[in-house]
Amino acid sequence: MTRYLLGRDFAFPEYVPRFPRQYDFDVLKLDADIEVDLWSREVKGVVKYRVRAKRDLRKVMLDAVELEVLGASTSYSYDGETITLDLDLPAGREAEFEIRYRARPRKGIYFVLPDKHHPYRVPMAWTQGESEDNRYWLPLPDTPNIKFPWKLAITVPKPYVAGSNGVLVEVRDNGDRQTFVWEMRHPMSPYLIALAAGDFEIIRDKCGDVALEYWLPRGRAGAAQYSFKNTCNIMKFFEEYLGVPYPYERYAQVVVQEFVYGGMENTTFTILTDWTLHDRHAHCPYGDFPCAEEDFSSDPLVAHEMAHQWFGDLVTAKDWGHISINESFATFIEALWTERSKGRDEYLYEIYLNLKTYLNEYSTRYARPIVTNLYAIPEEVFDRHSYEKGSVVLHMIRSLLGDDAFRRGLKLFLERHRYKNADIEDLRKALEEASGRDLEWLWRQFFYSAGHPVVKASWNKNNGVRVVLEQTQPDDSFPVYTLPLEIDVVYEDGRRDRIAVSFSEKRLEVPLGEKPRYVCVDPEFKLLKVVELSFPVEVLGAMLEDEHLYCRLQAVEALRKNGSNRAVELLAKALRDRFWGVAAEAARALGAIGTADAVKALMEAYREVRHPRARRAVMEALGNARRREAAEFLDKVLHDGSESYYVRYEAARALGRIKWEFAEHSLKRALEYGGHLDVVTRGAIEGLAELGSDNALDIVLRYAAEDKPTWVRMTAVQSLSKFGPRPQVLEALRRALRDENYRIRAAAVTAALDLMDARLLPDLQERAERDVDGRIRRMAREAAEKIRKAMDRGAEYQRLREEVEKLRDEYRKLLDRLARLER
């Protein structure tokens, strides 16, 4: 089979296609009575099912992993993963059965308790069902392509509270305990069943007729104003844009400690990481709240998870291979909120960053079709292809159909498949019906094929000025894409012409007429593709003045690759662009060029760049340039308490990369600065790791210890790779690979991959085979495979890396000499 249909490096040899499980019964109702014992980390339960046979039914099989089954209302067998109940039920008939059990789950439900290392933790338990983990605490048919209503009665000790999906129908007083009875009246997929129990403060509000709730760990309710202020505005916008009212009676956002994701869209009961809680300085470092120039915002997370209430919950992907129905849409609709709240340029820049995020996964890990059934575990398809690449494809569909037809298609899709499952073909049919246009060509190229188009545009002055377009994508992508491409031609006298071409061949020449000043390919950024410009530097400079954001971003990227002194001058001007995203990209480009003039331009522009995220990019760029003349400047920024937490974080990291003689002293001071999620402290840890000294290693190892907060430990563990394969580094990573915290194990796998030391192969192999979390198993296997390949390349690989690094240094020196000669 051709590579563009399978992709590259994603599927391992033993992978076989997976298809949705078929059920011979419908679940009419689940009633579960769950007792949560926080301090013993145990659940006890009784589940009652009412089912209807689709055909003559002898047995019902439910997923139930690592439970202790105490009994059932009918004869059964249990093998530790599946409970099989004997039912003799003719087609069309209904029956009820009951299972009693208890469990101390390793996943699915998580217990967070204070201890000697973390006395600040608030006692709580919370669930995470997606993809197939609810089976660790609840017997159920655990796949997305079955839906049913349920009722959960959750018993907890007083004074704790317990929440779940749907509406609260009863609270029972049981003396020293109380039971909260929640009912989800709409049919939902079982991975969306959720509960949270513990010491929460609950803030209540209304959005029209919808009840809003904010559940926060006791003592942290004051941060809700910064994180959730736009909840109702986001809900109203989604209702307006999609044409479908919010489908449920209630929406709760539940903030928990040590969550294993950013958020999870359990219907009406979204669970969020407490990392999203932040103070005023993190939100608006340079002005009053609310502010126009936000630094850290919870809006993207709030919007993403709320979008799932329509895409993912109301309509659910019929199997994990079609998870684009859930995740591509949530990522895209999150960007739509950015457009509504901050404007078109902010939206387009978010889509642009989504494209770059996908491209990073494509270049460093693998290529695969967005829709695929070739995977081993569901977690593997929850990646940058499903989220970010899929969001850019949806943006492209919107751009080509027009907003009105696109919205009609989404409304039709949601209404047609309400409370049901759907796949990506159902989406195509709804959009085609709403727009009257055929979309199979787009689906085949962008959903069912790996990779993406690469369009190389060259400036040709032979026989009149013309632009030469070539499709240069590698063979893991569609061979020749059909692209409805637009090109703007801007002339010296200010005239602007738009040329529409159907670019469906390897090479195309487009004549430009007389005296074109510059051209811009896809000026409104309608298509998913990579554009590589081979234009004269003055043409690129003229593009920096274009009215379209995407034209300016293309020019910045091309000037970065040009790297000349004139390119540095033009990029220095772009640091003052009217949109902060262009300034940020110009800063990163200057950092990549890394000459003395580039660094000077970055330092001079710092005070004029007002957006904190653009300032972050300036700090990052100064570190990438690695010029000693920037060190004192970075030191001042790092110790400026009025500066953004995240700008100071980047300054700390940059200071370490430069390896200034006073850097260690400066960074040790910064360890005490904290900030939102201790981000300045974490920057200091990363900076110290860049220095690589014995003293720095001692400090980083200390911050990797169990008594530190998870986010600090993560940073420290991942930074250990910077010190090379020293015995104490290898031993610390081995311990971290077995840590009970998922995020610490993930950081250790990442560090092992950076280190590329074969002595960690047995530890990675153990994680790949035995880790309870599928994401860790995948990461560990990928890391082990890459280390083995590097071993095969051996000394030649290492020598090549050293030569490339030397060439980079020589290139920077050469550019500096050329700049001096020009002056």
Residue 17 DSSP one-character state: B
Please check the confidence at residue 807 and state whether its pLDDT lies above 80. no
Confidence band (pLDDT; 50, 70, 90) for 1? low
Tens digits of residue pLDDT in 25-73: 999 999 999 999 999 999 999 999 999 999 999 999 999 999 999 999 9
Label each residue of 333-372 as H, E or C: HHHHHHHHHHCHHHHHHHHHHHHHHHHHHHHHCCECCCCC
Confidence band (pLDDT; 50, 70, 90) for 799? low
Nearest to 4 by CA among 554, 448, 613: 448
Tens digits of residue pLDDT in 511-542: 887 789 999 999 999 999 999 999 999 999 99
Cis before 77 (ω within 30): no
Q: State residue 810's pLDDT score.
A: 53
Tens digits of residue pLDDT in 191-242: 999 999 999 999 999 999 999 999 999 999 988 989 999 999 999 999 999 9
Burial class of 628 by CB neighbour count within 10 A (0 to 12, 13 to 18, 19+): exposed
Q: In whole angstroms, give the CA distance from residue 712 to residue 345.
A: 34
Contact between residue 182 and residue 169 where contact means Cβ atoms under 8 Å apart: yes
Q: In whole angstroms, give the CA distance from residue 112 to residue 114.
A: 7
Tens digits of residue pLDDT in 494-503: 899 999 999 9
Q: Is the dihedral of CA 153, 155, 159, 165 positive or negative?
A: negative
Confidence band (pLDDT; 50, 70, 90) for 800? low
Please provide the DSSP assignment of 413-458 as one string. Answer: HHHHTTTEEE-HHHHHHHHHHHH----HHHHHHHTSS-S--EEEEE
Burial class of 498 by CB neighbour count within 10 A (0 to 12, 13 to 18, 19+): exposed
Q: State residue 813's pLDDT score.
A: 54
Tens digits of residue pLDDT in 404-448: 999 999 999 999 999 999 999 999 999 999 999 999 999 999 999
Q: State residue 514's pLDDT score.
A: 77
Share of the chain above pLDDT 70, in %: 96
Contact between residue 23 and residue 141 where contact means Cβ atoms under 8 Å apart: yes
Residue 112 — φ and ψ, nearest 5°?
-120, 120
Tens digits of residue pLDDT in 455-492: 999 998 766 678 999 999 999 999 999 999 999 999 99
Nearest to 557 by CA among 570, 231, 696, 548: 570
Averaged pLDDT of the chain = 95
Quote the pTM value.
0.95
Confidence band (pLDDT; 50, 70, 90) for 620? very high
Nearest to 68 by CA among 36, 100, 98: 100
Count CB atoms within 10 A of the CB of residue 158.
Answer: 11
Please check the confidence at residue 803 and state whether its pLDDT lies above 70. no
Tens digits of residue pLDDT in 696-749: 999 999 999 999 999 999 999 999 999 999 999 999 999 999 999 999 999 999
Tens digits of residue pLDDT in 542-576: 999 999 999 999 999 999 999 999 999 999 999 99
Contact between residue 428 and residue 441 where contact means Cβ atoms under 8 Å apart: no
Distances (CA, A) of 649 to 11, 38, 612, 679: 37, 37, 12, 6
Confidence band (pLDDT; 50, 70, 90) for 5? confident
Q: State residue 818's pLDDT score.
A: 46
Label each residue of 590-639 as H, E or C: HHHHCCHHHHHHHHHHCCCCCCHHHHHHHHHHHHHHCCHHHHHHHHHHHC
**Coil, strand or helix: which one is 460?**
strand
Confidence band (pLDDT; 50, 70, 90) for 640? very high
Please check the confidence at residue 2 and state whether its pLDDT lies above 80. no
Residues whose CB is less than 8 angstroms from the CB of residue 754 and which lie 6 or more positions away in sequence, other chains included? 718, 721, 722
Count CB atoms within 10 A of the CB of residue 259.
Answer: 22
Q: In whole angstroms, give the CA distance from residue 379 to residue 756.
A: 24
Distances (CA, A) of 172 to 68, 211, 545, 803: 27, 22, 67, 71
424, two tokens:
């990506």
Q: State residue 109's pLDDT score.
A: 98
Nearest to 656 by CA among 671, 674, 678, 673: 671
Q: Please report, in angstroms and rounded to a whole number, the separation of the first and last CA atoms in the chain.
A: 57
721, two tokens:
């790779």
Residues whose CB is less than 8 angstroms from the CB of residue 525 and which lie 6 or more positions away in sequence, other chains included? 348, 351, 352, 399, 548, 549, 550
Q: Is the dihedral of CA 405, 408, 410, 416 positive or negative?
A: negative
Q: Is the dihedral of CA 236, 238, 243, 245 positive or negative?
A: negative
Q: Which domains does the chain have, with CATH numbers?
A: 25-198 (2.60.40.1730), 318-446 (1.10.390.10)
Contact between residue 32 and residue 46 where contact means Cβ atoms under 8 Å apart: yes
Contact between residue 289 and residue 283 where contact means Cβ atoms under 8 Å apart: yes
Contact between residue 62 and residue 139 where contact means Cβ atoms under 8 Å apart: yes
Strands of 479-608, DSSP E: 483-491, 496-503, 507-511, 516-521, 530-534
Q: What is the b/e burial string over 652-678, where b = at least 16 CB atoms within 10 angstroms of the residue's CB?
A: bbbbbbbbbeebbebbeebbebebbbb
Q: State residue 815's pLDDT score.
A: 47
Q: State residue 6's pLDDT score.
A: 86
Cis before 290 (ω within 30): yes
Count CB atoms within 10 A of the CB of residue 781.
Answer: 18
Tens digits of residue pLDDT in 140-171: 999 999 999 999 999 999 999 999 999 999 99
398, two tokens:
């919107």
> Vertex 58, ends 54 and 61: CA angle to 5°?
85
Confidence band (pLDDT; 50, 70, 90) for 823? very low
Residue 389 DSSP one-character state: I
